[in-house]
A = this chain, B = another copy of it.
Amino acid sequence: MSKGAKLCGVTQSAASQHVQEVERRLGAPLLDRAKRPLELTPAGKLYADFCRDVMRQEDEFQLALERLKQEVESTVHVASIYSVGLSEMSRLSEEFSASHPTARLEVEYMRPDKVYAAVSGGQADLGLVSYPQSSREIAAIPWRDEEMRLAMAPTHALAGRQLVLAADLAGIDFIGFDEDLSIRREIDRFLRVRGVTVHMVMHFDNIQMIKEAVALGSGVSILPARSMQAEIERGRLVAVGLEAPGLVRPVGIVHRRRKKFNRAAQAFLELLLPGGAEKARLAG
Contact = CB atoms under 8 A, between A and B. Distances in A.
Interface of A: 26-28, 32, 34-35, 42-43, 46-47, 50, 53-54, 57-58, 61, 64-65, 68-69, 72, 121-122, 137, 256-259
A38 to B, nearest CB: 12
Given A64-B46, A68-B28, A256 B34 contact: yes
Nearest to A122: B32
A175 B257 CA distance: 101
Contacts of A34: 122, 137, 256-259
A27 B69 contact: yes
B43 A50 contact: no
Contacts of A27: 69
Contacts of A28: 65, 68-69, 72
Report which residue of A43, A65, A257 has the largest number of chain B beta carbons within 10 angstroms of its beta carbon: A65
Given A57-B57, A256-B34, A42 B122 contact: no
A42 B122 CA distance: 11
Contacts of A35: 121-122
Contacts of A121: 35
A239 to B, nearest CB: 42
Contacts of A259: 34
A253 B207 CA distance: 98
Contact of A68 (B46, B57, B61, B137): B46
16 contacts: A26-B65, A32-B122, A34-B257, A35-B122, A43-B65, A43-B69, A43-B72, A46-B61, A46-B64, A46-B68, A47-B65, A50-B57, A50-B58, A53-B57, A54-B58, A57-B57
Given A35-B121, A46-B65, A50-B61, 14 more contacts: A26-B65, A27-B69, A28-B65, A34-B256, A34-B258, A42-B72, A43-B72, A46-B64, A47-B65, A50-B58, A53-B57, A54-B57, A54-B58, A57-B57
A68 B50 contact: no
Contacts of A69: 27-28, 43
Nearest to A137: B34
A121 B35 CA distance: 8
Report which residue of A34, A58, A72, A122 has the largest number of chain B beta carbons within 10 angstroms of its beta carbon: A34
A68 B42 contact: yes
5 closest A-B pairs by beta carbon, nearest first, are A50-B61, A28-B69, A54-B54, A46-B64, A53-B57
A68 B54 contact: no
Contacts of A54: 54, 57-58
Contacts of A257: 34
Contacts of A256: 34
